[in-house]
Structure 1
């Protein structure tokens, strides 16, 4: 699988990354999915301390132990579980970020984290203090590089201006084109890579289309699409763009067609899903004409909230 450079770092990440959140807590089943990902040429694995109270990091670390030097492990911090484990709170303080990195290191069973990401963030955070934490972790050799996971344009601009982030993870898909207006060009101009998540928009951009619609989507639509509009746009994408290709293939290739995007992170709860996603990413890229057609059929959504 083709690899792309992550920002100005020396990390070369596979065009498809495995989002580990949906692996579950059955170690045997999770390991099979991770092994299938490795077989397909995926070298980029994304987890977080929040997933399954840290169990996810343990499973990922254990499963990748034998190939540690050949893979890129990304994790995240900033969401802190409350004592009752029923909810979490946001804590981007220097003290917490540094401690969280050390705890992740233990759970992953490794000597370093390739990419450490802030798991969210608001404009009211002590951003300078958070950056200081990341820079110190780099100096201490605990992390190699850092990035943020955010869809807030104002937060992204602050980190671009003040920090040495190499990546921004953000939700991006054919149905959620919000990053195109305010983030993608800015990041590309500063040689900061985008790692896109949610490429199939909660399954709506898969072959099952509206069969995957949740109760909420049926009642409220998806972003600025009503349920009725979703039906029309998905049908148009299938008929006018996809043809014999799958919608998943078109969706992943659409994200990868933007020069700012280094890798698309897709979750998988089965080996079959990993193989399908890998096949989609290894397929023919979209032509410029196809990209333009997709844009003409869909909305150029804008960030109304998250300012």
Structure 2
């Protein structure tokens, strides 16, 4: 599988990574998916301490006990569990980040994290303090690089101008083109990569996704979604699958280093990997997708 440089780092990630959030909590199911991903050429795994209250990191740690050197491992921080309380609180403080990384390292059974990402963020955060925490973790050798996971353009702009992030993880797909005008050109100019999550839009952008299109999605009503799904199927017919079109759409942007579709079964993983190995979209195919879909924009989350 093709590999792309992540920002200005020395990390080269597979064009398709594995978003681990959907692996579930059963090791007997999840670990074979991780191992098969590695066999298929995937070297980039993304998780978070938030996923299944840390269980996701534990499963990845088990799966990689003999394979750590084969993987670019990314996790996230910022959502804090408070003992005795349900749910999470947002905590981007330096003290919390520097304590949480030790817990993630323990669960992941590793002594370093390749890419440590802030899992959210607002303009009201102590941004300089947050950046200082990541920089100190780099100096201490606990992380190699850091980035943010955000869909807030103004937060992204702050980190681009004030920090040494190498990546921004954000939702990006044919149905969610919000980053195209405001975020992607900025990242490309600054040599920072986008990691595109949700490229299949929760399964809508797959061959059998029409049943999942019976709802609203980022400015599309259900009728528009079903119509677009049918149009994209016809457009792809004879050339490639809809999954191929959907996965290669984000990768066509020069600022995108990787897409990270999830997989809850070996079958899903293999279908996604095969689609990711297909030829890139041609200029004509890209133009057709642009013509059929909306260039939606950020309104909330600013």
- TM-score computed with the length of structure 2 as normaliser: 0.98
Q: Is 1:287 the counterpart of 2:282 in the alignment?
A: yes
Equivalents in 1 of 2:238, 2:88: separation in Å? 44
Q: Is 1:46 the counterpart of 2:41 in the alignment?
A: no
Aligned counterpart for 2:243 among listed residues 214, 234, 248: 248
Q: Is 1:191 the counterpart of 2:186 in the alignment?
A: no
1:87 Cα deviation from its structure 2 partner:
1.1
Alpha-carbon contact 1:61-1:108 (below 8 Å) kept: yes
Structure 1, unpaired ranges of 5+: none
1:67-82 mapped onto 2 (5 Å cutoff): 67-82=67-82
Alpha-carbon contact 1:25-1:52 (below 8 Å) kept: yes
Equivalents in 1 of 2:66, 2:74: separation in Å? 17
Please say which of residues 131-140 and 199-208 is displaced more in the overlay.
199-208
- 3-state DSSP of counterpart to 1:177: coil
Alpha-carbon contact 1:241-1:293 (below 8 Å) kept: no
Q: Is 1:306 the counterpart of 2:301 in the alignment?
A: yes
1:242 Cα deviation from its structure 2 partner:
4.5
Q: Is 1:86 the counterpart of 2:86 in the alignment?
A: yes
- 3-state DSSP of counterpart to 1:303: coil
Q: Is 1:239 the counterpart of 2:234 in the alignment?
A: yes
Q: Where does residue 267 of structure 1 map in the other structure?
A: 262
Q: Where does residue 166 of structure 2 map in the other structure?
A: 166
Q: Where does residue 111 of structure 2 map in the other structure?
A: 111
1:212 Cα deviation from its structure 2 partner:
2.1
Runs of 4+ in 1 over 6 A off after TM superposition: none
Q: Where does residue 24 of structure 2 map in the other structure?
A: 24
Q: Where does residue 206 of structure 1 map in the other structure?
A: 206
- TM-score computed with the length of structure 1 as normaliser: 0.96
Q: Where does residue 6 of structure 1 map in the other structure?
A: 6
Q: Where does residue 230 of structure 1 map in the other structure?
A: 225
Size of the alignment, in residue pairs? 302
CA-to-partner distance for each residue in 1:122-176, whole Å, 9 max, x for gaps? 1111110000000000000000000000000000000000000000000000000
Equivalents in 2 of 1:240, 1:41: separation in Å? 29
Q: Where does residue 56 of structure 2 map in the other structure?
A: 56
Equivalents in 2 of 1:112, 1:66: separation in Å? 15
Equivalents in 2 of 1:84, 1:265: separation in Å? 34
Q: Where does residue 15 of structure 2 map in the other structure?
A: 15
Please say which of residues 99-108 and 244-253 is displaced more in the overlay.
244-253
* CA-atom RMSD in angstroms: 1.1
Structure 2, unpaired ranges of 5+: none
> CA 1:208 to 1:84, structure 2 compared with 1: closer, same or farther past 3 Å?
farther
Alpha-carbon contact 1:242-1:250 (below 8 Å) kept: no
CA-to-partner distance for each residue in 1:195-245, whole Å, 9 max, x for gaps? 0000011111011122124xxx52xx1111111111111111111244452
1:64 Cα deviation from its structure 2 partner:
1.0
Equivalents in 2 of 1:280, 1:208: separation in Å? 15
Equivalents in 2 of 1:301, 1:124: separation in Å? 26
Q: Where does residue 180 of structure 1 map in the other structure?
A: 180
CA-to-partner distance for each residue in 1:81-116, whole Å, 9 max, x for gaps? 233463111100010011111110111110100000
Q: Where does residue 150 of structure 2 map in the other structure?
A: 150
Alpha-carbon contact 1:241-1:294 (below 8 Å) kept: no
